[in-house]
A and B are shown apart, each in its own frame.
Chain A
Amino acid sequence: MNAERFMELMNTLPDDMIVTAVHAEYRRRPKLIRFLPAVTACLVIGIFAAVYPKLRIQTPEITEPPAAIDTTETTITTTELSNRSETQTSIAPIRQTVSSATVAGNTTASVTVPAAETDAPAITELPETSAHTETEPPVITTELTDATNLVSDTESEATHTVVQVKKAVQIWKGVDMRPELASDPMSEPQIRCRFWLSEPDMDMIDGIRNQYGIPAEFDLTQTQCLLIQLETEYADTAVTGGTLTTDGLRLYVACRNQKEPLTDMHFAVPLPEGITVDPENCRAEYQIYEDESGKPKTKNPLIEIYE
């Protein structure tokens, strides 16, 4: 037998074997593993695209604005203060931080600074004279230390440049009034500050719109305002600005160290949508300057709203 004969004899192979062979087609099926690198690459790109923008955003260091300048602040009694007053001398331009308390939804903060004529600081308990007050107002006592301890521009700046400003709103200033002196006049020059929120009540709206300098086009039924009433016996009292954080409002007030008749000042801060503030958490911070050279900027004060 030779090869040619063998090939001829192959015709004797079973039919099914031949038919199967001549019709054989072995097409390689697409295997999933072939697509694995592409799928993996797509996943990696997708994950990277999702994560990378977040990685690029650097979270700002959030330091809460100072709730109060507490470093030198202690609570002392009036008696103690009277003893101290003998030893403490004059006060220069000072910045005082006052606490606040709420009575019947209103927050009243007050601070008493010594009269220009007196050399010693004095803290007095102040009766609440507001119509909103139903009970005796809280006692606000603040130790007044040397001005050099309390007043520091650098300290003030350092505590205000910590978070990202989201927006700022203009403060509306209402009319200044010089009410009749109360039956229990302030024995010492004082600054008192009250905070409360406007209510969408028409009677109230009509009453406060002019008093607080709220523009006519501002819809008080839709948007809330933080209302501020400032009672001062100091000359040139003005709001210099403020910061509104989740911890509440800190209002910066400046005045000249010269006594004047009691004046009622009214301010309104329109609260942007989504911003809430609790009057209990509102504070006023005062800066008293001796002369015009130390007068801070009081024109167009803004309330900076922080997140």
Chain B
Amino acid sequence: MLNNRDEQALEESAQMYGALCRSVARNILGSDEDAEECLNDALLTVWNAIPPAKPSNFSAYLLKLVRNAAFDRYKARRREKRGGGQTAQALDELTEIFPSSENVEQELEQRELMQAVTGFLQSLPEKQRSLFICRYWQSAAIAELSARFDMSESNVKVTLARIRKRLQKYLREEGLL
């Protein structure tokens, strides 16, 4: 439908994936209004990109667009003042792995780093991998993760801490840190 430039496709996409997209944006920005705007921005991007773009996984494509839009807003807002969403907290947790930006950027290509991270995540059990991605890609709150993964909040925190520690060790062993 998008290839045929049918606007109905955007409405159906919003109905199908809107809730999930809003939750991703809301987790990053901490605001329903901003999340709605991020979804609209993402849908506009989809409208402009397809065609000629032909994403193999439309839901992942749309989610990434929403997340990128949310991050753009987050960075823009952060420039003014620090945001209040889960992203700030997630970033604090990741600073133990990435304490500074210059050294890594100077030494490694970002692409190579993410390939290593992807390989590491693939080596994890599915539940741990999903937990990590939900926390650091979706910026889901600990309480939400606790409910979704049927774990206590403290167990979620401990599990995430262990994954981070293993990722740090893995990246060091790979010479990426």
A interface residues (Cβ-Cβ under 8 A, vs B):
1-28
Contacts and interface: CB of A to CB of B under 8 A. Distances in A.
A2 B100 CA distance: 5
A46 to B, nearest CB: 33
Given A17-B122, A18-B137, A26-B149, A2 B98 contact: yes
B115 to A, nearest CB: 9
Given A24-B130, A27-B150, A3 B98 contact: yes
Interface stretch (B5-13, B37-45, B46-54, B57-65): B57-65
Interface residues of B, number: 51
Contact of B118 (A14, A21, A22, A28): A14
A5 B100 CA distance: 11
Nearest to A14: B118
B170 interface: no
A15 B133 contact: no
B133 A18 contact: yes
Contact of B121 (A4, A9, A13): A13
Given A4-B91, A7-B87, A25-B148, A16 B60 contact: yes
A22 B101 contact: no
A205 to B, nearest CB: 85
Given A17-B118, A22-B20, A26-B150, A6 B94 contact: yes
A246 B84 CA distance: 95
18 contacts: A1-B105, A3-B90, A3-B97, A4-B75, A7-B90, A7-B139, A12-B111, A12-B118, A15-B56, A15-B64, A19-B57, A19-B60, A21-B134, A22-B138, A24-B127, A24-B130, A25-B148, A26-B149
A306 B64 CA distance: 93
B98 A6 contact: yes
Determine chain A's interface SS by DSSP, over half rule. helix
A3 B121 contact: no
B126 interface: yes
B133 A21 contact: yes
B129 A18 contact: no
Nearest to A3: B94
B43 to A, nearest CB: 17
Contacts of A5: 98, 101, 105, 110
A87 B4 CA distance: 140
Contacts of A20: 126, 130
A3 B177 CA distance: 13
B2 to A, nearest CB: 17
Contacts of A15: 56-57, 60-61, 64
Given A20-B126, A25-B148, A1 B110 contact: yes
A15 B136 CA distance: 15
Contact of B59 (A2, A7, A19): A19
